[in-house]
Amino acid sequence: MPDTKSCADCHQLNCYHEDKIYPKFCLTEALDQARLEEIAAIYRGDTIDGKMARTAAEIEGEYYGKLTRVEETLVFARRIGAKRIGIATCVGLIEETRVVARFLQLGGMETFAVLCKVGAVDKTEIGIPDDGKVRPGTRESCCNPIQQAELLNAQNTDLNVIVGLCVGHDALFTKYSDAPVTTLIAKDRVLGHNPVAAIYTAQTYSKRLFDAERVAAL
């Protein structure tokens, strides 16, 4: 990928309110206008994609700063007409999953949860050496996001919610899920599943993020 400037280099953000100026490398200005209009038509349309786009925007406007993400997830599911919610969950967050399921059920949803370890396939069976396990010498199942997705697909879920899947396993789950996927909990074993804390403290406690030697060695 060429190292060209993108939105991360922009300090105008003019595409938000159009009250500043667009930078020379602006992505908005370079867009294919016909395609942009086609996409806007999807958002206006009657498909589930349009419904999701408008519902997310409505919730943002209506509940800005008032509802937690857990609550927003229920409202979103309800408004897009979802009845069956799949929960792709992690063995380390099973208690949290029970809370989420209980809350969604209280909100009128049917829930179906599948744990990451479903299938109980030992890590060595997928090519991970025993000393690459968290606890070498023990039976330790690998995460199985494709199977999680397929089990939720078989349940005809309307919306799937990720509760703490690992980086990468979440990507695979999303790739194989038939239903749209939203993330409720992004796993971070160090920061209590609050990955943005490392970014908020990038100038202080997380300065190591900019230690070039260390980053290169990661």
Q: Which contiguous run of DSSP H or E holds residue 216?
A: helix 212-217
Contact, 109 vs 82, CB < 8 A? Answer: yes
Rounded distance between C-alpha atoms, residue 136 and residue 141, angstroms: 12
**Are 118 and 89 spatial neighbours (Cβ–Cβ below 8 Å)?**
no
Q: How many residues bind to ligand SF4 according to rule CB under 6 A? A: 11
User: Looking at beta carbons only, is 12 or 47 nearer to ligand SF4?
Assistant: 12
By CB under 6 A, name the one of 13, 42, 91, 126 that touches ligand SF4: 13
- Quickly count: other Cβ atoms within 10 Å of residue 101's Cβ: 20
Q: Which helix (H) or strand (E) holds 112?
A: strand 110-115
CA distances to 13, 25, 29, 38, 102 from 2, rounded to whole Å, are 22, 14, 19, 27, 47
Within residues 26-45, the interface with ligand SF4 by CB under 6 A covers 26-28
Only one of the segments 5-13, 61-69, 124-132, 153-161 lies at the binding site for ligand SF4 (rule: CB under 6 A); that segment is 5-13
Stretch that binds ligand SF4, among 14-22, 33-41, 75-83, 110-118 (CB under 6 A): 14-22
Q: Which of 1, 3, 4, 15 binds ligand SF4 (CB under 6 A)?
A: 15
- Find the part of the chain contacting ligand SF4 (CB under 6 A) among 19-27, 47-55, 161-169, 202-210: 19-27
Residue 14 or 183 having the CB closest to ligand SF4:
14
Applying CB under 6 A, the residues found at the interface with ligand SF4 are 7, 10, 12-15, 22-23, 26-28
